Structure 1
Amino acid sequence: MLGVLAAVLGLLLFSMIKSDRVYEKINSIEAKLSGEESSNFKSQISNETRKETPRTSLGAKRREGVLKHGQDARATSARDEGDWLVWALGAEAETLNPVTSKDLYGYYICWRNIFEGLMEYDSDTLKLVPKLAKNYEVTDGGLTITFTLRDDIYFSDGLPVTAEDVKFTYDTIRDPKVDAAKWAQYYMDVKTVEILDPKTIRFRLANVYFKMLDYISFVDIGILPKHIYQYKEGMEFNNRRSEPVGSGPYVFEKWNVGREVVLARNERYWGEKPCLKKLVFRFITNQLAVLQAFKTGDVDFMIAEPDQFAEMCEDKNFTSRHKCLSVWNPNVGYGYMGWNADTAFFEDRRVRLAMTMLVDREMICKYLLKGLGEVPADPFYIKGPLHDPNLKPWPCDVVKAKVLLDEAGWRDTDGDGVREKDGVKFRFKFMHVAGRSLHEQLAKHLRDQCAKAGIQAVADPFEWSVFLTRLLDRKFDAVTLAWFTDVVEDPYEVFHSSQRLNRGSNHVGFVNKEADEIMEKARRVMDANERAVLYKRIARILHEEQPITYIYTRPTLRFIDPRFENVKAHNIGLDWLEWWVEKGRQKY
């Protein structure tokens, strides 16, 4: 999934004694509320034909997942229609164009609400199941994939979804003048796309790719209506930011710039309509203001920070009136510090390793994240099959870091307390999103730790839109951010050397020939177990090279207004399309 970035925050450091108590309390809460989670990460491509699934609002049968801190156990056979869901987002979306979007905020607004793919992930099994497609057939050893579309699918303007729209979506992504490098690299192996009839389309591949079914079914993007989005020049398409049109259960109503995006229920929706009449995505950049808005009822759904979650979970008055959820799923990703390898500071792996050893990640997870985070050693989901439990994170070791810096030629030769090399002082800028308390705390921690080793790290905060532009243009020395991983993981997008170009997602400019070759080979391996062996090799290369420092991985933390019923934590996360509110409790 997009990469998506975002993306993720915290407040001032509690005292050590108070934090220990909070840490112990959270461990106790988590132990009591933990449940088994299942997931299936096997490849979906094989020589077989998939049959049509029954038409439902969710596209597949659901089973109840694990829900912590307020699990809904009520029957949902009778669901009332009406009411709104007001969702607090930490920044304004850059665009509502799913092809050119590069942040998580636009993804939250559009994905599954406005746009739908030919296939979708089942929320619990994590297997691909038909959505707009009636069925699909994989032949020629995985080199030919044919989709047959449903006869009853329509865009929100009433026109049918056809194979022409599917091909248009593909052609748009592959157009070099369209700002879609993030997505285009997944379609490099598509050789031809042939429309067989208005409801049938065939993709022929030059090579097999274990995730190709995901991408040619446009799971994370959705199908664009050609009659709405057709364009003459790529820039014309790139500039289309608002008024999205798709086939999903909600339609775009308005975008009050600087305040909110409002979606209304699609009354023409081809599937079963959701109960909630509107989804409102309200932009609130200050996390304290978000919590206050939630407490006063101005928003119904918010992403909580670990310190907020720990504090509120100890407040019986709060927990008795709100749903508090802590959920692990394959999309949780990781928070990191990234070192731009194209700068003189971080071109040497020994320096990058030294930076990792200067950061006290155990302290960050225990105190800043209130015991809710874990320090990962690789980029893969910590509870998934690609994670290597034998690979241990580098320890915090200031003495060893100093030795590595000396070896790399960074020494304090003039006695001013700052290292230098070739006449350049080791004084770098650490870019982060302004107003994010966890980012600010990480900047302070890095500054203090670097000072112990003769390095000056200067905080460099930017408002989100400016931050994102500088990130994509790679105009930074070092950066902190979060990366949200896909259900089925492929590190190519983030770590292959080709992805440092054209505003790709290799933001730190990592280049390693051996890693490139392994990632390219892994894409051709259809067996998940064989692929896992290759990915463990990649994890060890990344461990030695340290292009980024993994700071934490943690569950998603959410606060939800209690009037919403049928709130379940699936293996893929929450599904607001299932939610409803009793007539007597409806607010809007």
Structure 2
Amino acid sequence: MKHIALMFGSAALVGMSTMAVAGGHEARGRDGEVKIIYWQAPSILNPFLSGGTKDVEAASLVIEPLARYNEKGELVPWLADSVPTVANGGVSADLTSITWNITPGIMWSDGTPFTSADVKFTYDYCTDPDGGCAQVTKFNGVSSVETPDALTVVVNFEQQTPFPYGPFVGGESPILQAAQFADCVGAKASECTEENFNPVGTGAYVVDEFRPNDVIVLSANDNYREAGKPAFAKVTFKGGGDAAAAGRSVMETGEYDYAWNLQLAPDVIAQMEAAGKGTPVAGFGPLVERIMLNHTNPDPSLGPDERAVIRPHPFLQDPAVYKALSLAIDRELLVEIGYGKAGKVTCNWVPAPAAVNSDTFDCSTQDIAGANAMLDAAGIVDTDGDGVREKDGVPLRMTYQTSTNAVRQDFQALIKQWWSEIGVDVELRNISASVFFGGDPGSPDTFQKFYADLEMYANTFNGTDPQSYLANLLCDKAPSPASQWQGENISRFCSAEYDALHAQLATTADAGERASIARQLNDMAVSEGAMIPLVHRGRLSAHSNTLGGVVLNVWDSELWNAADWHRLK
């Protein structure tokens, strides 16, 4: 898959290897402190208990998978000697098992050996039915995990699995230390505050202090497997604020070295870059800004364990409604004001890699008149003259929520206006990103609980194969009280046909056929109202001009190679 670097003025993707600069002959921690800012503050360092990108990426500094994806979307070994394939004998000829050989000598940061027992424990931890694991789709189809010896892991599948790289691959499926999390399995998982805030890891850094929704202080891991790495002795990882302040802190004031996810208008980025202290970098992966449609009833009169569980939604599953809502949106204007060259109009949930980008829909042209005609034809009309249409006597009044961010609030205001022109009334709500994406089962404001009719956000997936990501809409992946409100099926979409087609994808080997099935699943999700895609977003971040080794990665954690970062002299 070709990696795309976007140019912002004189800025370009930094992609050089840093091995010669940060080689093993130099001292670990020689460059002092590096400062990172994520305006969506991490709230936990256990990605199995959070679906938020901010939490997954912060945790990637500490805990790691067996393999991950590089900046080109290529699968590369991380804690293993090589990536198993049929050709090298690591994947069985009948495609029912994959064998990982752990690289000898890897130590946890506490000095104990990293072994296959830790890998098996992680599988047991995430698949415990009472644990509420946010990444359980990574283990779909796994029947068992075996450990023939301390350095060998065998993952067995229930049936032929042509793509066996869901478990233990990428930043969303790292390995937990069995000794540390032994008493945190099942219903106890969310109660283990010390473990979830301060995981022992194999990564380049160790957690010294974690203040949720605020700051993380980390230091170089003395037991890290590569001599001379990391170059920085200390990481200060600041969370919170907003994207504009984060961008200024790198490109204008130089207070920070790396700012993530600068969801800002293009002219704002250009003005910041002109200050000369930092460089924006961007690339297109599968990241999509979308509006999720609630398939359950979020009526506040229902009890807290009934909201977003009781089906159906009073009107959002009517095709005339969700298709009219989509038709009324001017996506080209949203791209122009929100992202410029770092955005593209998309009608798809999965727009990348190119092989899975469907051409079924054309949503690039706004059609207010067409949307009104569609609702009229369906008999969804304004019967009392108050300007709001009704379906079966229920007014089309909705709560539309998202995280607090200038671009998202601009989108909300525009979309509210367009929808008012088709007789739909919308109440806007924005929630602190740290809370919205925090995954706290006790909070009513998380995107998983979805106590609203509509919510807007973006997310992505690791690697270039969307099988696990497409599993997010399987019926049994809906967050609920039983799962401690964890789960990837945020819309509570449920289709037996979709589930069956996804099962077919899981057993299909031919790359062309896999891409075709993926496009069909994408089309079902969109045409059956799980979501309204808006913008295919480039991932835009920025680094200081004194920070070397940054290689933007849109296929895995942006902090994937933080061990290679160093200070330019």
Residues 252-285 of structure 1 show CA distances to partners (whole Å, capped at 9, x for unaligned) of 1111344311111101112342212222211132
Aligned to 2:459, which of 483, 492, 500? Answer: 483
1:97 aligns with 46
Secondary structure of 1:245's counterpart equals coil
1: CA distance, partners of 2:446 / 2:261: 27
Q: 1:471, CA displacement in angstroms?
A: 2.2
Aligned to 1:303, which of 260, 276, 280? Answer: 260
Q: Could you tell me whether the CA contact under 8 Å between 1:87 and 1:299 is conserved in 2?
A: yes
Within a 5 Å distance, the mapping from 1:97-136 to structure 2 comes to: 97-111=46-60, 113-124=61-72, 126-129=74-77, 131-133=79-81, 136=84
> In the alignment, residue 319 of structure 2 is paired with which amino acid?
R
2:474 aligns with 496
Aligned to 1:334, which of 288, 296, 300? Answer: 288
2:413 aligns with 444
Q: Could you tell me whether the CA contact under 8 Å between 1:126 and 1:571 is conserved in 2?
A: no
Within a 5 Å distance, the mapping from 1:65-104 to structure 2 comes to: 66=5, 68=7, 69-70=11-12, 76=18, 77-79=20-22, 81-104=30-53
* 68-77 vs 332-341, greater mean Cα deviation: 68-77
Residues 279-301 of structure 1 show CA distances to partners (whole Å, capped at 9, x for unaligned) of 22111322333234332222221
Q: Tell me, yes or no, if structure 1 residue 289 matches structure 2 residue 275.
A: no
2: CA distance, partners of 1:75 / 1:194: 36
Q: Tell me, yes or no, if structure 1 residue 231 matches structure 2 residue 195.
A: no
Q: Which runs of 5+ in 2 are unaligned?
A: 85-89, 297-312, 438-444
1:207 aligns with 159
Q: 1:204, CA displacement in angstroms?
A: 2.1
Q: Tell me, yes or no, if structure 1 residue 535 matches structure 2 residue 521.
A: no
Residues 145-190 of structure 1 show CA distances to partners (whole Å, capped at 9, x for unaligned) of 222322211100010011211111111111111120x322332422
Within a 5 Å distance, the mapping from 1:227-306 to structure 2 comes to: 227-231=179-183, 234-240=186-192, 241-272=196-227, 273-294=229-250, 295-303=252-260, 305=262
Aligned to 1:565, which of 544, 548, 563? Answer: 548
Q: 1:394, CA displacement in angstroms?
A: 5.7
Q: 1:304, CA displacement in angstroms?
A: 5.6
Q: Could you tell me whether the CA contact under 8 Å between 1:119 and 1:133 is conserved in 2?
A: no
Q: Could you tell me whether the CA contact under 8 Å between 1:88 and 1:303 is conserved in 2?
A: yes
2: CA distance, partners of 1:524 / 1:187: 14
2: CA distance, partners of 1:216 / 1:208: 18
Q: 1:130, CA displacement in angstroms?
A: 5.1
TM-score using structure 2 length: 0.84
1: CA distance, partners of 2:72 / 2:58: 22
Secondary structure of 1:255's counterpart equals strand
| TM-aligned CA distance change 1:233 to 1:195, over 3 Å | closer
2: CA distance, partners of 1:233 / 1:223: 14
* 122-131 vs 246-255, greater mean Cα deviation: 122-131
| TM-aligned CA distance change 1:74 to 1:100, over 3 Å | closer
Q: 1:353, CA displacement in angstroms?
A: 0.5
Q: 1:231, CA displacement in angstroms?
A: 0.9
| TM-aligned CA distance change 1:214 to 1:455, over 3 Å | closer
Q: Could you tell me whether the CA contact under 8 Å between 1:341 and 1:348 is conserved in 2?
A: no
> In the alignment, residue 496 of structure 1 is paired with which amino acid?
L
Q: 1:417, CA displacement in angstroms?
A: 1.5
Q: 1:563, CA displacement in angstroms?
A: 0.7
> In the alignment, residue 203 of structure 1 is paired with which amino acid?
V
| TM-aligned CA distance change 1:178 to 1:133, over 3 Å | farther
1: CA distance, partners of 2:501 / 2:541: 37
Residues 513-534 of structure 1 show CA distances to partners (whole Å, capped at 9, x for unaligned) of 3322212211111222111111
1: CA distance, partners of 2:35 / 2:380: 52
1:171 aligns with 124
2: CA distance, partners of 1:317 / 1:186: 42
Count how many residue pairs are aligned between Structure 1 and Structure 2.
516
Secondary structure of 1:554's counterpart equals strand
* 209-218 vs 472-481, greater mean Cα deviation: 209-218
2: CA distance, partners of 1:108 / 1:388: 29
TM-score using structure 1 length: 0.81
Residues 469-500 of structure 1 show CA distances to partners (whole Å, capped at 9, x for unaligned) of 54212321111111213312124333222222
2: CA distance, partners of 1:369 / 1:67: 12
> In the alignment, residue 184 of structure 1 is paired with which amino acid?
V
| TM-aligned CA distance change 1:119 to 1:383, over 3 Å | closer
1: CA distance, partners of 2:244 / 2:68: 35
Q: Could you tell me whether the CA contact under 8 Å between 2:550 and 2:562 is conserved in 1?
A: yes
2: CA distance, partners of 1:239 / 1:316: 43
1:31 aligns with none
Residues 15-71 of structure 1 show CA distances to partners (whole Å, capped at 9, x for unaligned) of xxxxxxxxxxxxxxxxxxxxxx726xxxxxxxxxxxxxxxxxxxxxxxxx9574145
2: CA distance, partners of 1:305 / 1:479: 20
Q: Which runs of 5+ in 1 are unaligned?
A: 1-36, 40-64
Q: Could you tell me whether the CA contact under 8 Å between 1:94 and 1:103 is conserved in 2?
A: no
1: CA distance, partners of 2:292 / 2:399: 12
1:24 aligns with none
2: CA distance, partners of 1:509 / 1:570: 30
2:496 aligns with 513
Aligned to 1:473, which of 431, 449, 453? Answer: 449
